Structure 1
Amino acid sequence: MREIWGLFSRGITAVNTVAGYLSGFAIVACTGILVFEVAVRYWLAWATDWEIELSIMLLIVATFMSAAFTQISRGHVGIEVLDSLMSERANRWRYLVGDILSLAFCTFIAWKSWAFFHEAWADGKMSNTAWGPKLWPAYFFMALGMTLLSLQMIAQIGDQHLHQHREDEE
């Protein structure tokens, strides 16, 4: 059973690491698109209608798809001062309770995002801008990112439990 759990944990961490690096490329692409927009508006006086919205969508993708990558190193906001004030055992419980509450929240957001994605896909919802792109890609990456974050939290909770179980056996 531990081998299967190890495969799951390493697999989800690998997927989230790749997603994190791809998010970085999305931010670089967003930067290039915005520089292009500024340049063609200033020097060529071209009207643009897609650059800002595409940049927003790329930033949505980057934000949600990098969340699990950030969770791998526990890079989200935390109260580090409590680490030094509380005992090791109390900190383990604090992390466990925090992880379970965070998992519940992220799972709920993932579930709602999948519902938004389905609705946008089924109804063909589009942005009400001049460009008018479909909205389902943004909702898809929100849902996928929150799902990956939830899976990463499950992996961390399980890893923490197995690590603690091994320490208790020794």
Structure 2
Amino acid sequence: MRKLWRQFSRAVTAINTLTGYLSGVLIVICSGVLVFEVVVRYWLNWPTDWEIEMSIMLLIVATFMSAAFTQASRGHVGIEVLDSLLSERANRWRGVVGDILSMAFCLFIAWHAWKFFHEAWADGKMSNTAWAPKLWPAYLFMALGMTMLSLQMLVQLGDQHLHAHREDEE
């Protein structure tokens, strides 16, 4: 069972690392799109209608798909002042309870993002702008990102549990 868990943990971490780096690439592409917009509007006087919305879509994808990568390194905001005030055991429990509550929240958001994705896909919903892109890709990446964030939290909780049992056995 532990071997299966380690394989699952490695797979989730590998996927989240890959999507974290790809999110960085998307941010660079987004910057290029915005620079293009400024150049063509300012110097060439071309009207533009897709660049801002494309940038928003790219940033949505980058934000949600990098969340699990950030969680893997515990890069999200934490309350570090409590670390020095509480005992090691209390901090461990605070971390577990915080991870469980965070995972529950992320699962709630993921569930609703999957519903939004399905609705946008089934109904063919589009943005109400001149470019009018389909909305399902943004909802898909929101749902995938929150699902992977939830899985990353599950992996961290499971790894903590296995680590605690190893310490008890020694």
Asked if Structure 1 and Structure 2 have the same fold, meaning a TM-score greater than 0.5 normalized by the shorter chain, the answer is yes
Report whether the alignment pairs 1:156 with 2:156: yes
Q: Could you tell me the TM-score, scaled by structure 1's length?
A: 0.99
Distance across 2 between alignment mates of 1:97 and 1:45: 56
Name the amino acid aligned to 1:154: L
Distance across 2 between alignment mates of 1:4 and 1:122: 36
Distance across 1 between alignment mates of 2:14 and 2:31: 26
The total of aligned residue pairs comes to 170
**How far is the alpha carbon of 1:85 from its aligned partner?**
1.4
Supply the RMSD in Å over aligned alpha carbons: 0.5
Residue 166 of structure 1 corresponds to 166
Structure 1, residues 63-90: CA drift from partner, whole Å, max 9, x if none?
0000000000111110011111111111
Name the amino acid aligned to 1:163: H
Matched position secondary structure for 2:127 = coil
Distance across 2 between alignment mates of 1:161 and 1:50: 48
Structure 1, residues 20-39: CA drift from partner, whole Å, max 9, x if none?
00000000000000000000
Residue 23 of structure 2 corresponds to 23
Report whether the alignment pairs 1:132 with 2:145: no
Structure 2, unmatched stretches of 5+, are none
Distance across 1 between alignment mates of 2:167 and 2:80: 23
Residue 101 of structure 1 corresponds to 101
Distance across 2 between alignment mates of 1:4 and 1:84: 36
Matched position secondary structure for 2:125 = coil
Distance across 2 between alignment mates of 1:22 and 1:84: 36
Match runs of 1:32-111 below 5 Å: 32-111=32-111
Matched position secondary structure for 1:49 = coil
**How far is the alpha carbon of 1:118 from its aligned partner?**
0.2
Q: What is the identity percentage for the equivalent residue pairs of Structure 1 and Structure 2?
A: 80
Distance across 2 between alignment mates of 1:133 and 1:73: 34
Structure 1, unmatched stretches of 5+, are none
Residue 12 of structure 2 corresponds to 12
Name the amino acid aligned to 2:118: H
